[in-house]
Copies of this chain bind each other. A is one copy, B any other.
Amino acid sequence: MKAVIEAIHKSKRILITSHENPDGDALGSTLGLGLGLEKLGKEVLFYNRDGVPELLTFLPRSERVAKSLEGAGRFDLAFAVDCTGTNRAGREFEEFVEAGNIDMVVIIDHHQTNSSSADIQLLDPGSSSTGEIVYLLLKTMSVEIDEDIAKNLYTTIVSDTGSFRYSNTSPVTFRDASELVEHGADPAEISEALFESEPLRKLRLMAFVLPTLSVSEGNRVASIVVDRSMFEKAGARREDTEGLINIPRSIKGVEVAVAFREEEGNGSPLWKISFRSKGDVDVARIAERFGGGGHKKAAGCSVAGSLGEVKLRVFEYISEELA
């Protein structure tokens, strides 16, 4: 924490980015941190390779997030928030760093498996969201938390705890939420924006996905599949798969929920696999066996191959973990 604060004090131009395909924690942390640093007189550029998905355009000042670093100039400091490594921010950012445009890179993250080569890392796997770490950082620096910052940081918590439902929800999470609501975040407004503002195409996609729901291991494992033909038929986008994992997860008795999502590959099929654990199974262990990572309760990886082959391998590992 101290090293990060020193780095901020020494810097004038600061770039803030997060991971590709950003979620509420990624963008809420990006914006909350940046708006806070602006209160300290810093010049801030917000950047995300994939920009802001439609669902998150309600985040205050999200219109400021740039999708390109072209002509961005030089920075004293860059933050990669909610990133297990700087590579999670995408190729453009990595090349931008390699080209010497940034003096120092800081990672702020709450993921368990972090193995990065940033100059400074501010990690707390005990935090429900990266936004909680950002909040603590801003408070430590005595930054005034205004309504815009509060809304962005509150969204990170709601987003990453599934509205205070996941096991990462701690007394501190609730205390932070309480304070952020006092600072102007509106729980009903943000919940409606996050949970009751689905694009129609997402529900069309769900209609194709639901029939793929299958259970195994005596209902302890449930999975769904989202392939490219479904995307095309529903007119859906990648971001519309957000939350689909909750379908298998919601079933009584399910300990491990899995979602297989087909990625744009050139030639052979590539599957992005998300895992959620409702019981004692550490799904990060499963994801790591495929070169992925995450938390005990939520993890992911990418595997190439036909769906049949990929499923077979994944379910074999899950079976071992359940045993």
Contacts and interface: CB of A to CB of B under 8 A. Distances in A.
Given A192-B278, A207-B211, A198 B250 contact: yes
A153 to B, nearest CB: 13
A175 interface: yes
A164 interface: yes
Contacts of A163: 163-165
A215 B200 contact: yes
Contact of A197 (B173, B206, B207, B252): B252
Interface string A246-270: 0101111100000000000000000
Contacts of A252: 196-200
Interface stretch (A103-111, A137-145, A179-187): A179-187
A171 interface: yes
A242 to B, nearest CB: 13
Nearest to A198: B250
Nearest to A252: B197
Nearest to A197: B252
A115 interface: no
B181 A171 contact: yes
A178 B181 contact: no
A30 interface: no
Interface residues of A, number: 48
Interface in A279-301: none
A203 B250 contact: yes
Interface string A156-189: 0010011111110111111101110110001110
Interface string A204-217: 10110011010100
Contact of A196 (B178, B188, B207, B278): B278
Contact of A166 (B164, B171, B172, B188): B188
Contacts of A203: 210, 213, 247, 250-251
A319 interface: no
Interface in A196-239: 196-200, 203-204, 206-207, 210-211, 213, 215, 219, 222
8 contacts: A163-B164, A164-B177, A169-B181, A171-B178, A172-B178, A196-B249, A203-B213, A204-B213
